Amino acid sequence: MEPNEKLRSAFIEAYNRDYDEVDASEELDEFSEYDKKRGCPRRVVTNSVHRTCHSFGRRTARIRVAAIVACVVILFCGFMSVPAIREGIVEFVVEKFQEYSLVTFHGTDTGNVERGEEGEKPLLPDGYTIVETTELPYFFEAKIVAPSGEEIMFVRTADGAGISVDTENAVTMDLNIYGYTCMGIEKDGESTLILSDEKYGYILSSTDGMEVIKNFACQLFH
């Protein structure tokens, strides 16, 4: 049975009184210096929407790790020779803190390549299909289905965006895809790849395995 208007109104009043009590309390109301040094939540949140790295199940991920086990793996996508490491216009920086790590995409000023536009639709490899899209400030997000049916969460961002990634007890790895440096994360059956090219930063994730997103990335940058 649906609540009547009196009950609904009373709920709103009750919660607003709770809100007013909290608002009037003398708890500290400023973000810490620690947070300000890291780039301040105000700037991270309002200028770039602090997104979480997640699979299509939208599991929110936060980092709560004191030690990260990392191994370095170099991936060659069908080439015998190693391509030169390219410096993207958009670079990603990983800042590791005691409680969590922050991945931030920064645009470097080379002036040679046109910067990516947030609303520009991605050109997908053959056989891949976008089934859902979400556009938020600074992010373009899509659920993509691979030709063989696996699902990939595709997040693309331009300069100034940041994400936090849960790497507690995760395996992280440095990868190279066609000259683009990437960071791979494996945890609890969810695989994530963070990378950038000349125009955008990308976060690819899937619960169908790292090979699925590696294959997608290889074809995306080929």
Partner 1 sequence: MLVMPSTADAGRTFKEIYDTYGTVMLKVARKIIRDSYLAEDAVQEALLRISRNMDKVGDIYSPESRGYVLTVTRNASLTILKTKKGIVEMEESLLSAEHLPESCDIEQDVISKVSYEALVSIIRGLPKIYADVLYLDWVMNFSIKEISEHLDASETTVKKRITRGRKLLMSRLNENNQEGREHNGTK
**Are the CB atoms for 218 and 210 separated by under 8 Å?**
no
115 binds partner 1 (CB under 8 A): no
Maximal C-alpha separation, the chain: 73
Among positions 51, 156, 199, 214, the unique one binding partner 1 when judged by CB under 8 A: 51
Phi/psi at 215 (5° precision): -60, -40
What residue spans of the chain are helical by DSSP H? 5-24, 33-37, 41-48, 210-221
Among positions 91, 118, 150, 198, the unique one binding partner 1 when judged by CB under 8 A: 118
186 binds partner 1 (CB under 8 A): no
Task: State whether the Cα torsion 158-159-164-166 is positive or negative.
Answer: positive
Report how far residue 163's alpha carbon sits from residue 84's, in angstroms, rounded to the nearest whole number. 27
Per-residue contact string for residues 128-167; x = within reach of partner 1 by CB under 8 A: ----xxxxxxx----x--------------------x---
Q: Which stretch binds partner 1 (CB under 8 A): 50-58, 104-112, 121-129, 183-191?
A: 50-58
Q: Which parts of 8-27 interact with partner 1 (CB under 8 A)?
A: 8-19, 22-23, 25, 27
80 binds partner 1 (CB under 8 A): no
Cα separation values, 31 from 39, 156, 172, Å = 11, 29, 30
User: By C-beta, is 51 or 214 nearer to partner 1?
Assistant: 51
Kindly determine how many residues on this chain lie close enough to bind partner 1 according to the rule CB under 8 A.
55
Smallest separation, CB 29 to partner 1 (Å): 4
Task: State whether the Cα torsion 173-175-181-186 is positive or negative.
Answer: negative
The residues binding partner 1 (CB under 8 A) are: 1-4, 6-19, 22-23, 25, 27-32, 34-35, 41-42, 44-46, 49-52, 58, 60, 62, 64, 99-100, 118-119, 132-138, 143, 164
